Each structure stands twice: as C-alpha cells, then as structure tokens.
Structure 1
Amino acid sequence: MSTQRFALALDLKDDPKLIAEYKAYHKKVWPEIEASIRDAGIDSMQIYLVGNRLFMIIETNDSFSFEQKSKMDESNFKVQEWEDLMWNYQQALPMAKPGEKWMLMEKIFEL
C-alpha cells in the first residue's frame, strides 16, 4: 500500500482568545471526527500553528480521495456539526474562493 502526503493551509481569526479555544478543541477532538478521518483513508494528520496560520499535513493510503472525503463529510451529521463549530474560529485564506476552507499547498522543495 502506498502512502501520499498532502499539505494544506487555513487561517484562524486573529484573536488570542479564539485561538486558545481552537487549540483546546484540538486537544480532545470528538471521537466521531477522528473515526471519519480514518474511515476516509487518512492514516496520519498533524496540524501546526504559527500566528493565526494553520498548516496541516495528512498522510493517506490508497483508498483516499479528496472527492470521496468531501462526500463522506457532507453526509455525516457530526462532521457537519464539527465543521460549523470550527468555522467560528477559522477564516478563509485571502486567495480562497467563496466557501473554500483548507487549501491544498504546492510542494516546491524536497530534500
């Protein structure tokens, strides 16, 4: 089974109180959310923060596709509830299209 790695970015609202709350939620992610991530074919996920910029790395197996993950999320009430809650803390990147949240980053260097 091959592994793919993707990097994505998103901003948080630039408010220390909101950023602290967002970090607290991610110390205890709902089990249904963790299950939905694994069920989509994501084997590993890490989120980093600098200032109000989030950077996510996901490692996926052969069963993963962004399209399938999106379909699964749309039909999962708990995922929709989580996404709505997280949007209270998140804000789109300046170059994002309307409704676009996490944006796929282009790898420009590897050693």
Structure 2
Amino acid sequence: MASTNQGPRRIGQWVYLKPECIEEYKKCHAVVWPEILEQIKDSNVCDYSIYLSMIPRPILFASFKYVGNSFDEDMARMAANPKVQEWWRMTDGMQESPVENAVGSRDGPGWWGQMEEVFYME
C-alpha cells in the first residue's frame, strides 16, 4: 500500500483468488477469528467488505473506510500482530498478487492492488 498518513477515507483494493481455493476462502471468512476482527477495528478500519467476481478469473475486491489519522501507523500496528500474521499467511496462500515483486501481506510493496476512487455518492 502506498505510504500516506492522510486522515479518513475510503479504500478499494483487489487481488486474484486461486480457483481451487474459492470454497476454502469463503469458509474462513464466514468465521473470521475474533482477534482479527478486533485488530481491524482497533486499526481504525470499518465498513469492510470483500466481494468475489468470477470474470474473467476469480478476483477479490475489498472496500473499507479508514477513519483514523495515521494510516501508516495503524497498518504497521496491524502487521505487527502475530495473529494477523498467521491469518495473512493462510489467506495469502489462497491468493495471487497483481503487484509486481509482492511477497505477502506483511512485507514488500503491498499484496493487494490499489484502486483509485473515481466516483462516490453518500
């Protein structure tokens, strides 16, 4: 994710989902570990959704609101959580990053591709 410390905003991201992992991905997200949900909230993230599209291949689209004032610090705190690292190892294994040189959700240039918001209506 691009380094920025802007305040509240909406964020859209995408990543490929391995076809053989679709059902497993859905199952683990039907019962997200409580520690993960708590850390997401503690990192000033809310209104978080993940969508699945099958065209042209399995793609996940995530949308969430960041409501804090120091995005980089909040994301670093999330990345330092051992339970989050365990969750990311599991889910990263089900995905294929569209980001060149990506190595995982915790390290590297970012795992999910970033999207530019071009329209919003409240």
Q: Percent of counterpart pairs with the same letter?
A: 30
Change (3 A) 1:69 1:27: same
**Residue 5 of structure 1 pairs with residue 15 of structure 2:** no
Query: Structure 1 length normalisation: TM-score?
Result: 0.84
Question: Does structure 2 conserve the Cα–Cα contact (< 8 Å) formed by 1:40 and 1:64?
Answer: no
C-alpha distance in 2, partners of 1:14/1:64?
36
Runs of 4+ in 1 over 6 A off after TM superposition: none
Change (3 A) 1:47 1:64: farther
Q: How do 1:1-111 residues align onto structure 2 when only pairs under 5 Å count?
A: 3-15=8-20, 18-51=21-54, 52-63=58-69, 65=71, 67-93=72-98, 96-99=99-102, 100-110=110-120
C-alpha distance in 2, partners of 1:64/1:21?
33
Cα-Cα RMSD? 1.8
Question: Does structure 1 conserve the Cα–Cα contact (< 8 Å) formed by 2:40 and 2:78?
Answer: no
C-alpha distance in 2, partners of 1:43/1:103?
19
Higher relative contact order, chain-length normalized (CA < 8 Å, sep 6+): 1
Q: Structure 2: any 5+ residue segments left out of the alignment?
A: 1-6, 103-109
C-alpha distance in 1, partners of 2:12/2:89?
22
Q: Structure 1: any 5+ residue segments left out of the alignment?
A: none
Return the offset for 1:77. Answer: 0.5
C-alpha distance in 2, partners of 1:13/1:62?
32
How many residues of Structure 1 are paired with residues of Structure 2 in the alignment?
105
Query: Structure 2 length normalisation: TM-score?
Result: 0.77
